[in-house]
Every structure is written in C-alpha cells, then in structure tokens.
Amino acid sequence: MRTTELDITFYATQSRFSDPGTLADWAGAVDPDAAVLRAVASGLVFHFRGMGDHGFPPERRAEIDLRYAEDIFARLYELNPAPVRTERAPIERVVGCCRDFTLLLVAMARGHGIPARSRTGFATYLVPGWAVDHTIAEVWDAEQRRWRLMDPQFAPGYLDPTDGAELDVLDVPSDRFLVAADAWAACRGGADPERFVVSPDQPAPFLRGWPYLMHNLVLDLAALNKYEMILWDLWGPLNTTARVDSRTMAEMDALSALLRDSRIGIDCIRGAFEDRRLRVPSVIRTVTPFDGVPRQVVLR
C-alpha cells in the first residue's frame, strides 16, 4: 500500500477505540518517541494465558474483554494511579493479549500526533514451525518515510525460538510477522494453511487454517479503517464454523490482492470497508476464550 499525506493524517488521530477520553493527559505523559512509547505499552498489559503465575483472582479474567482504550487506561489508573510510565508489578497491569498491548501503543502514539495503526496477522517468531495469530503496531517513521512494524508485547532482546536470533521489536521484519493479506497470499501460493493457527494447542477447526486466515484478514481490514476490534469478535463472514465456501474464498482473494497492492491508499481501503459483509456493524458477537459462549455486543 502506498502512503499519502491523507493516510498520515488519518492514522495520526484517535479512533473511537483508541481514544483515551478523560485519561488523555494521564496516558499522554510519555515522551513522544516511538521507542519510549513502545516500552511503556510493553509494561501495561499482562497476557491472559499466563494469569495463574501471579495470583490474579478469577474475576479479573473479565479484563480481557475491555474494548476501548479509555476503559483500559481507567482500569490501569485504578490499579495504580502513578504516572503511566511508572514500572508496574504484574498484578498492576491489565489482563489482556497482544491486541491490548498494541491498542495502548497506538493510542499513546496518536495522542502525540504520531501516525500509528494496529495490524493483525501471524508471527513466525513465537512457536517454531508455526505461524501464530498475533497483533502488533505499525508506526510511521517520518524521517525514513515508511511504516515500521513494532511489537509492544516483548522487550528488546527477545530471541526468536526458531533460530535464536534477536527480534528487532522496533522494526519487525515483514517475513517474521505476516500481515493477514500476506499470510493469505502465501497460503494460496502453496504454504500450508494448517500451520497458521491461534495456537498449536488449540484444536478447534475454526481457530486454524482457512477459517482463521479469513478471520484475521477481515480484522486487519477493520484495523486499517481504525476499527481496532477484539480478536474474538465476529461479524459478517466471521463465525465459529470450520468451512470457508467458494464465494468467500473468492472475496478473500480479492481483499488480499487489494491490501497487497502497492498503488492503493486509504481511499481504496475505506472503499473496501463499505462492503456490507465486511464493515463492522453496530451490533456484533464476541466469543470470550475462557467460556466460548457467543455474546451480543452493541458498540459505542
């Protein structure tokens, strides 16, 4: 995708999901430097898959469904009202996942007028041999005039278990994190879709292969339109079945090709989002990982 001044302006402002609201000043008390912002975001969330290690009470599981940055910052302030840049004990972090690390980084960057956006896809640096569901940020590098993929979940020095090489969390290579359109194209080109999963130990058929490749492709389109959705949200073609019909495969082929086209800008991305099957409606379903029960959500 090409980047124009219109794109830069669009991604430099908050969305309804990234807006810190009444806590904008508290959340914004961080140096306007991408590396600093990434480091702060890295210390604000505790990934829910590791909850038991730090004595989180069961009722805190509900934090993984906090949808809006304003609500996440409010919970963080409640847990510890010290400046947001203050180092926090694990119990003082909000329980969440990669999406939440990223949303908070994007929110803080946009608060300083730094263009930033959430990207959903698959990381090859989490589990050897697998491309694992992941969300990281893209932050605009004004000096180099390009987007940098940044992973706020891991600290500098993180070693890729695949080869033991250090991952540059400030500039993640595009072959280590495949945005959803690239992942879809790779599988259409011969890569094994069964290696693209939420997690290798998650056996549900809709959490791997073509159904989840489609899931992340639709979520990434939404994120590019500043709808930073929770990863287990469902709408349009997204569901918990394990089948992707031929019509939907063709739609996803077209969407992947569009998002990978170096000639398009935000106007085309927004145009694609006008498709009634792809656009996020005012009422969606969400399926929390802890109980797997679909629930209806009315968006603000």
* Banded pLDDT at 114 (limits 50, 70, 90): very high
Q: What is the dihedral of CA 134, 140, 146, 152, to 10 degrees?
A: -30
Q: Region 66-79: what's the mean pLDDT?
A: 98
CA distance 199 to 268: 32
Q: 207-226, pLDDT tens digit by residue?
A: 999 999 999 999 999 999 99
* Banded pLDDT at 146 (limits 50, 70, 90): very high
25-45 burial code (b ≥16 CB/10 A, e <16): ebbeebeeebeebbbbbbbbb
Query: DSSP letters along 113-153, please?
Result: T--EEEEEEEESSSSTT-EEEEEEEEEEETTTTEEEEE-SS
Nearest CA-CA partner of 111 in 37, 199, 181: 37
Q: Region 135-147: what's the mean pLDDT?
A: 96
Residues ≥6 apart with Cβ < 8 Å to 239: 206
**Is the model's pLDDT at 65 over the cut of 80?**
yes
Assessment of whether the complete model's pTM goes beyond 0.75: yes
CA distance 169 to 122: 15
Q: What is the pLDDT of residue 51?
A: 66
Number of domains present in the structure of the chain: 1
Do the Cβ atoms of 21 and 72 come closer than 8 Å? Answer: no
Query: Which range of residues forms the domain containing residue 184?
Result: 5-298
Q: 6-47, pLDDT tens digit by residue?
A: 889 999 999 999 999 999 999 999 999 999 999 999 999 999
